[in-house]
Structure 1
Amino acid sequence: MINIRSAVLADLEALSGLLDGYRQFYNQPSDIGAARDFLRQRFGQADSRILVSENSDGNLTGFVQLYPGVSTVGLNARWTLNDLFVLPECRDKGTGRALMEAVTQLAREHGVARLILMTQVENERAQQLYESLGWQRNTAFYGYLLDIK
């Protein structure tokens, strides 16, 4: 059974390992200390919402992280789903779907008008999950990045 809940500070160590795995998935070098510091900052500043999945033994198997924002044009709240990660051995078992469904429910409960996410063009597995849950690919806007160094 998959349990989805809000992350708490007591999850920091296990969640740091998941975040490190997520970053490695995106070809970043492993740095568990930096992952821990980053998450400690998120908890301290309360600037994101993190949901975790846990198995029947209480071990964390995945997480999703949301960053709140607003839309001037829509005059409403929007959350950016920035991170979704499930341990490789827990994939194809409904964990990612459960996390995504929990995010949608949480957004509804908080009156959030829109959820937004971006994924790599090559990440077809994630795209299939998102589209199966009713997410629509944005074809109206181009995304741009500017790295500030």
Structure 2
Amino acid sequence: MRVTIRQVGPEDHTAWLRLFAAYAAFYQIDLAPATAAAVWGWIHEPANPFWADLAVTPEGEAVGLVQYQLMHRSLGGSMTCYLSDLYVAPEARGAGAGRALIEHVRGFARQRGLPGVRWLTAESNTAARALYDTFAPRSEFVLYSIVP
């Protein structure tokens, strides 16, 4: 499947929300309207280092979403790119949209001289992990998440 990767614009709200809500549902998270509104605001706030891009078919259908941001990496003494959200619609999986979105974020990082791109996924997300494993071996780090 041939896709074009382009920045999310104000006119993309419906397509973005459809993909973002499907991403949340995949991880069994009920996407609250206030949460979606906050993230939409981050995307369009020029001073906020948070970006969102769509994978779009030649017919104009948005079939994938990637959202990413800058993150301090204290042991490296630099910023790195954190790929926070990646989602490809089920009908487009396995056809190259996910790889294109990751390569797009890699290009973003290269253009800014960032040392790398990082992301997390669920252990059980085997289909996505098969793609991710083609980029690098999984790290040995374990994520902990606590309530303050």
TM-score between the two structures when normalised by the length of structure 1: 0.88
Task: Determine the C-alpha separation between the residues in 1 that align with 2:94 and 2:118.
Answer: 23
The residue number in structure 1 matching 2:22 is 21
Aligned to 2:137: 136
Deviant stretches of 4+, over 3 Å: 33-36
- Whole-angstrom CA distance in 1 between matches of 2:31 and 2:71: 29
What residue in structure 1 maps to residue 50 of structure 2? 48
Provide the C-alpha distance between the structure 2 equivalents of 1:37 and 1:146, rounded to a whole number of angstroms: 24
Which of the numbers 15, 33, 58 marks the counterpart of 2:60?
58
Q: Match for 2:51: what amino acid?
A: R
Segments of 5+ residues of structure 1 without an aligned counterpart are none
In structure 2, distance between residues paired with 1:59 and 1:39 = 21
Contact kept in structure 2, 1:12 and 1:39, CA below 8 Å: no
Q: Equivalent residue of 1:126, what SS?
A: helix
Contact 2:65–2:87, Cα closer than 8 Å, also in 1: yes
3-state SS in 1 of match to 2:133:
helix
Q: CA RMSD in A?
A: 1.7
Displacement of 1:29 after TM fit? 3.0
| Partner SS state of residue 37, structure 1 | helix
The match for 1:71 among 73, 82, 86 is: 73
Query: How far apart, CA to CA, are the structure 2 residues paired with 1:94 and 1:43?
Result: 24
Are 1:50 and 1:66, in contact at CA under 8 Å, matched by a contact in 2?
yes
Q: Partner letter of residue 38 of structure 1? A: A
2:127 corresponds, among 125, 128, 144, to 125
Once the 2 structures are TM-superposed, how far is the Cα of residue 97 of structure 1 from its aligned partner?
A: 0.9
Q: Which residue does the alignment assign to 2:100?
A: 98
Please give the per-residue CA displacement for 1:46-80, whole angstroms capped at 9, x wherever unaligned. Answer: 33111210011212111111121121210111111
Question: Equivalents in 2 of 1:92, 1:86: separation in Å?
Answer: 9
CA displacement at 1:92 relative to structure 2: 1.4
1:30 is displaced (CA, Å) by 5.5
- SS of 1:66's partner is strand
2:7 matched residue in structure 1: 6
Q: Deviations over 1:87-144 (max 9, x none)?
A: 1111111111111111111110111112111110111111110111x223111x3322
Aligned partners of 2:123 and 2:106: how far apart in 1? 23
Residues 92 and 125 of structure 1, relative CA distance in 2, 3 Å threshold: same
